[in-house]
Copies of this chain bind each other. A is one copy, B any other.
Amino acid sequence: MNPKSKRTRRNDPKALRNHVLDVAARLFQARGYHATSMHDLLQKTGVSGGALHHHFPTKKSIGLAVISDRIAPTVRETWIDPIRAATSLRKGIASVFAAIIIGVEARDAIAGCPLNNLALELSACDPDFRKAIDAVFSEWQAALMERIGRTSGGARLDRIKRSDAAAFIISAYSGAMTLAKASQSASALRSAAGILARWLRDRDLETIEPARL
């Protein structure tokens, strides 16, 4: 970083905040929250201790902001918006998996789903982290439930069954991404995509069109 860009950020609190969150989100995703120190954040962001402390008095406040301002929007962009926009739930889920598989295969290493990574690292150690993470899962699940309700099979399900189906889709994806990270291979994501597509078809959770006969 050159001195000019540093000065620019110092004079632009919003840009500085965004820069810190971008760097923190990247480090948490690559190494984890606990393995990233405040020293790492100072060094990698290039901001002064005073400026960092002014925006984020604690490392925890950076963690919470990464969840709400980086991870929640990522879940919206990769999952919620495409599912809402898709002509059918099955096609929406297929395209989400396809995009994620392309994404993980384009990178050198499979770092996993940022929400799942922080969920397992932080849910048990701090109630504020757990609530922030649970809120993102809940938003994701609610969006899937709403879309399931607009399918032939889903319209016949009660609220609890729609909630179960939504949780199952998130679970199958989340677990497949864990296997992908552990094996450094997208194959569990591919198999989950194929099995979920057939499951959605069998349960009539495809479109609002009349059920296939």
CB atoms of A195 and B31 under 8 A apart: no
Chain A interface mostly helix, strand, loop or mixed? Answer: helix
For the complex of A and B, the 6 pairs showing the least CB-CB separation, nearest first, are: A171-B175, A174-B175, A164-B191, A175-B175, A34-B34, A171-B176
A175 interface neighbour in B30, B32, B124, B170, Cβ under 8 Å: B170
Measured CB to CB, the closest approach of chain B to A181, in angstroms, equals: 5
State the CA gap A123–B183 with chains docked (Å).
Answer: 9
Task: Tell me the minimal C-beta distance from A136 to chain B in angstroms.
Answer: 9
Q: Smallest CB–CB gap between A186 and chain B, Å?
A: 11
How many Å from the CB of A196 to the closest CB on chain B?
8
We find that the number of chain A residues with CB closer than 8 angstroms to chain B is 49
Taking a contact as CB atoms under 8 Å apart, the answer to whether B175 and A130 are in contact is no
Output the least CB separation between A30 and chain B (Å): 7
Q: B172, A188: Cβ atoms under 8 Å?
A: no
Q: Judge whether B183 and A176 touch: CB under 8 Å.
A: no
- Enumerate chain B residues within 8 angstroms of A110, measured Cβ to Cβ: 124
Mask, A152-192, CB within 8 Å of B = 1, is 00000000000111011011111110110111100110111
